[in-house]
Amino acid sequence: MQPHVVLPPVDELSAESAPLKWGFALRHFTPELEAEYRRFTYQSYQQTRRAAIVLLIISIVAFMGFDLFLGQHIGNNAVTLPAMLLRLGALLIILFAASRVLKSPDLATGERWIPLALGSLSLVMLLTCVLYLQVLEQTHLPYGLEGMMLIQMAIFFPIGYSYRNSLYLGIATLLLTYAAVALATASALYVQFHASLAYLVVASIAAGAAGYSHEHSMRTLFLAKRALRNMADTDGLTQLHNRRSFDLLLQRALQEAQREQKCIALIMLDLDHFKAYNDLYGHPAGDVALQRIAGVLASNARRGLDFAARLGGEEFALVLHNPDRTYLASACENIRQQIHSGLAIEHLKNPAQVMTASLGACFNQADDSPSSLYQRADQALYRAKANGRNQVIIDDQKAPQAC
């Protein structure tokens, strides 16, 4: 006899692969996935940022040397000193921003200081370009916007900064350059100005296209790595954490609870007479039943740091962060009732005639290790099964005061 089962909707089964279809470059992933991607890219470019900072400092110092050399070549002029002071100001800002980025390698720091450094560099290069336009004939320099081309390349250089923000900064730099240089250029240099501007536009498009291609590749790599990580950490049948992931997360949760003097609760769940269910209804029906039980566990991991796992076979676990005794008892009973009465999966070889579960739970202790916490919860589960199954046993005799 086959029980009545409900398979997950197709949309839910394909939700994980949805970003592969649409989430690239100019378009964002879903907010949580986008935040994870931003952290991934920022952390991936720590070494590149260090190299970029060194190259940037060397470039500014080289430009200052050029200013000094040109000042000596053309004698007294009104350009050299202001140009060097502007570059010195940009150098100081970049050095300070670099110290902040290297000292605190978190995404928020980078998103605050990287655009400031790039914006300062862009503005300084533009102002010095405008200054030198005033002495073209005296210096015998060719008309050109090569410095602004270098800036556009720097803006799209892969250092883990958001491509979208780089694009905004690149467009703003291009428009500001056109406006400022157009106002500062004499009418006699009209042709040279537009020729140089055309080169700048082409260079900007090339830099933006290269940045777009790189961003697309990084998002593809991120999704591939994420999929591989999920495969390694997720139970393929139920989509809960697997045993390997559970062990790592439990250790991390226990360390965090001990550090912050809070508590966690570990709930162990085992389905009653599940082998008999498989013998009667077949393994495909058993797999669907496990998926539905997993849905119940996942729906009870309501707080941000709660997590559910399938430990193997018909055994599951749920970790709750900082619950009190009332909340833990309510969660355990709610899970038991949802499986017994809510799902009501027919199981004629179970005395209750429907599928049921036994649950054991406990709080962590100050000196607990993952294995000792697991052992106490497992012992509580064993007592629940020994006492007749389809019940909850909570070992809270030594629950910490924080709970």
Q: Using the Cα atoms of residue 274, residue 279, residue 280 and residue 284 in order, give the sign of their dihedral.
A: positive
Label residue 130 exposed, middle or buried (CB < 10 Å: 0-12, 13-18, 19+): middle
Kindly state the average pLDDT of the residues 307-330. Answer: 95
Question: Which range, of 122-136, 279-293, 315-329, 354-368, averages the lowest pLDDT?
Answer: 122-136
What pLDDT is stored for residue 7 in this prediction? 37
Does the pLDDT value for residue 402 go beyond 80? no
Return the closest-CA partner of residue 51 out of 6, 4, 102, 115: 102
Angle (nearest 5°) at CA 230 between 225 and 236: 140
Note the pTM of the prediction, 2 decimals. 0.65
Question: What are φ and ψ of residue 64, in 5° steps?
Answer: -65, -35
For residues 42 and 107, is the Cβ–Cβ distance under 8 A? Answer: yes
Query: Rounded CA gap, 97 and 92, in Å?
Result: 9
pLDDT tens digits, one per residue of 264-296: 999 999 999 999 999 999 999 999 999 999 999
What pLDDT is stored for residue 401 in this prediction? 54
**Cβ atoms within 10 Å of 237's Cβ, excluding its own:** 14
Query: Rounded CA gap, 88 and 320, in Å?
Result: 55
What pLDDT is stored for residue 76 in this prediction? 67
What residue type is assigned to position 70 of the chain?
Answer: L
For residues 384 and 377, is the Cβ–Cβ distance under 8 A? Answer: no
Sequence-distant contacts of 92-95: CB under 8 A, at least 24 apart: 93/117, 93/120, 94/53, 94/56, 94/57, 94/60, 94/120, 94/121, 95/57
Sequence-distant contacts of 41-46: CB under 8 A, at least 24 apart: 41/160, 41/218, 41/222, 42/107, 42/110, 42/160, 43/105, 43/160, 44/160, 44/218, 45/158, 45/159, 45/160, 46/105, 46/160
Confidence of residue 25 (pLDDT cuts 50, 70, 90): low
Residue ranges of domains in the chain, CATH in brackets = 13-231 (no CATH), 243-395 (3.30.70.270)
What pLDDT is stored for residue 144 in this prediction? 76
Kindly state the average pLDDT of the residues 182-195. Answer: 84
Kindly state the average pLDDT of the residues 181-194. Answer: 84
Confidence of residue 145 (pLDDT cuts 50, 70, 90): confident
Confidence of residue 400 (pLDDT cuts 50, 70, 90): low
Question: Which range, of 3-17, 104-118, 185-199, averages the lowest pLDDT?
Answer: 3-17
Confidence of residue 316 (pLDDT cuts 50, 70, 90): very high
Per-residue DSSP letter, 15: G
Greater confidence (187 vs 308) lies with 308
User: DSSP string covering 265-310, please?
Assistant: EEEEEEETTHHHHHHHH-HHHHHHHHHHHHHHHHHT--STT-EEEE
Q: In the chain, pLDDT over 70 holds for what percent of residues?
A: 90
For residues 341 and 246, is the Cβ–Cβ distance under 8 A? Answer: no
Does the pLDDT value for residue 397 go beyond 70? no
Query: Rounded CA gap, 233 and 82, in Å?
Result: 59
pLDDT tens digits, one per residue of 227-244: 888 888 899 899 999 999
Beta partners for residue 307, in sequence order = 319
Label residue 297 exposed, middle or buried (CB < 10 Å: 0-12, 13-18, 19+): buried
What residue type is assigned to position 344 of the chain?
Answer: A
pLDDT tens digits, one per residue of 40-97: 999 899 889 999 999 999 999 998 998 888 777 776 677 888 989 999 999 999 999 9
What pLDDT is stored for residue 20 in this prediction? 44
Tokens at 123, concatenated: 């503005």
Confidence of residue 204 (pLDDT cuts 50, 70, 90): very high
Label residue 10 exposed, middle or buried (CB < 10 Å: 0-12, 13-18, 19+): exposed
What pLDDT is stored for residue 138 in this prediction? 67
Greater confidence (294 vs 106) lies with 294
Does the pLDDT value for residue 21 go beyond 50? no
Query: Rounded CA gap, 29 and 41, in Å?
Result: 14
For residues 79 and 132, is the Cβ–Cβ distance under 8 A? Answer: yes
Query: Rounded CA gap, 97 and 256, in Å?
Result: 32
Confidence of residue 31 (pLDDT cuts 50, 70, 90): confident
Does the pLDDT value for residue 246 go beyond 90? yes
User: DSSP string covering 305-366, please?
Assistant: T-EEEEEETTEEEEEEES--HHHHHHHHHHHHHIIIIII--B-TTSTTSB--EEEEEEE--T
What pLDDT is stored for residue 193 in this prediction? 87
